[in-house]
Structure 1
Amino acid sequence: MDKDNILNFWFDAAQGEQPLSDLEINQQQAALWWKKDPHTDTSIRQRFEPTLKALLRGEHNHWLQDAHGRLAAIIVLDQFSRNMYRNSALSFTQDSLALHWCLEGLRLDHDKQLRPIERVFFYMPLEHAESPQMQALCLNKFQQLKADSPDSFQETAENFVQFAQKHKVIIDRFGHFPHRNDILGRDSSDEELEFLKQPGSGF
């Protein structure tokens, strides 16, 4: 599997004669990214699970040498894993390595070489981290993304800032994401159980 196959699948930016804008990509790909669909989950697992396993074995470490290769690796570990292993603890197993690759990429300024919609997924390991420090960094990065975005993407970028803020509030309050408790075998406090009754508490 080539890294370009991953990026083309996830962003689908080169379809037609004219490349799509960040806003158009977001609108076109939103269902793939955010909708829970068993058929999509199965398709991603069949197509990309060998790549995930190869990444975990270190067979594609050369991808990490450039910004787009690193982004592809992060997407496989951080996003595709959630499709492949939905409702299983396996969906979170790759998070620590995805976060490591994200932080390493930030030190190398790889994120600054990407367009705004690509940066969204470069930063996702920060948003998925059960760490107040990482959540603070995540919010900062999404605020920077918004500042760097063209006018046409400002409203969408602000939505991502607000979503990062929601994640940060939960981690600042509980220290972890309560909606993961059952899957990870963690006990939920009474406060967490009340919180989980709220719409959107589990994203």
Structure 2
Amino acid sequence: METRPNAVLRFWFQDCRPHQWFRENADFDAVVLDRFGKLTCSALNGELSHWEKHPTSALALVLMMDQFTRQIWRHEPKAFTGDPYALRLTRQAIAEGWLDEEPERVRRQFWLMPMLHSEELGVILDAISFMERWSDPATVAVADRNKTLIQRYGRYPQRNAALGRASTKEELKFLKDWHSRGKHKRSQSHACDQCSSHGPIHYRIKIAGQPNWQFACPSCWNKLQHQPGYQYGGTRKENRRERKRR
């Protein structure tokens, strides 16, 4: 079991590939449980409050409360029990100026993720403002979609089953369409390891500080090809896969 803040950050930002952050995968969930399950429980129980005093360890707490909980207790009510704690830490980081001082965009993104997960419209609106300042357009677009859901339903219907909430007829229709779109998207195209967007073309790349090869969509590739240590390793095309099937 890992016990240090740097182990949490190293695992999430160096060992993991970006697509693992947001896709449901039982094997990945098992890895998070094995390596960080006990530590995440300790954080939920308030036993790591001393981590709140420094931005590095506080970000590790945010990852455990806002991300690891969702992997360890996926489809269970406990998956969301760390949200209030994570949101409090995010607000603390903003007030302390930690996001202004954080040079890495991806870390700023996860600092703000607890706001994105909130079911309060005011928090989502604040999240959009902060993400426009500190994150990237793809994450801002996700925040906009979340805002639309909260405005329409007052909550995220995707959580209803896990939380034991009864879905309205309108929510059931949304969930049916949502699941259908997700299955179609996964069957039709690959996803970018940077922003998780799907599309027919991705470039295999590597940049400094990134130990593994990753696939980037054209939009992300345009930005990453200018990064230090950039290497190009080929192009993945969806129509090529279709031709092989035929």
When normalised by structure 2's length, the TM-score is 0.68
Q: Which has the higher strand share?
A: 2
Q: SS of the residue aligned with 2:17?
A: helix
* % identical aligned pairs: 28
- CA shift digits 1:2-31 (9 cap, x unpaired): 100000000018xxxxxxxxxxxxxx7222
**Structure 1 unaligned runs (5+)?**
14-27, 147-156
**1:44 maps to which residue?**
32
Aligned AA for 1:137?
Answer: D
Cα distance in 1, alignment partners of residues 179 and 107 from structure 2:
25
Say which of 151, 155, 170 aligns to 1:191: 170
**Structure 2 unaligned runs (5+)?**
183-246
- 1:9 has 2:11 as partner: yes
Aligned AA for 2:12?
Answer: W
Q: Shift in Å at residue 194 of structure 1?
A: 1.4
Q: SS of the residue aligned with 1:36?
A: coil
Q: Shift in Å at residue 202 of structure 1?
A: 9.8
Say which of 67, 70, 81 aligns to 2:55: 67
Number of equivalenced pairs: 179
Say which of 35, 40, 45 aligns to 2:23: 35
Cα distance in 1, alignment partners of residues 54 and 70 from structure 2:
24
Cα distance in 2, alignment partners of residues 202 and 5 from structure 1:
36
Kindly report which structure 2 residues correspond to 1:73-92, keeping only aligned pairs within 5 A, or say none.
Answer: 73-92=61-80
Whether contact under 8 Å (2:75, 2:161) holds in the other structure is: no
**1:22 maps to which residue?**
none
Larger Rg: 2
Q: SS of the residue aligned with 1:197?
A: helix
Cα distance in 2, alignment partners of residues 201 and 119 from structure 1:
32
Moved more, 91-100 or 193-202: 193-202
Whether contact under 8 Å (2:160, 2:166) holds in the other structure is: yes
When normalised by structure 1's length, the TM-score is 0.82
Cα distance in 1, alignment partners of residues 129 and 72 from structure 2:
29
- 1:144 has 2:133 as partner: yes
Question: Over aligned residues, Cα RMSD in angstroms?
Answer: 1.9
Q: SS of the residue aligned with 1:199?
A: helix
**2:145 maps to which residue?**
166
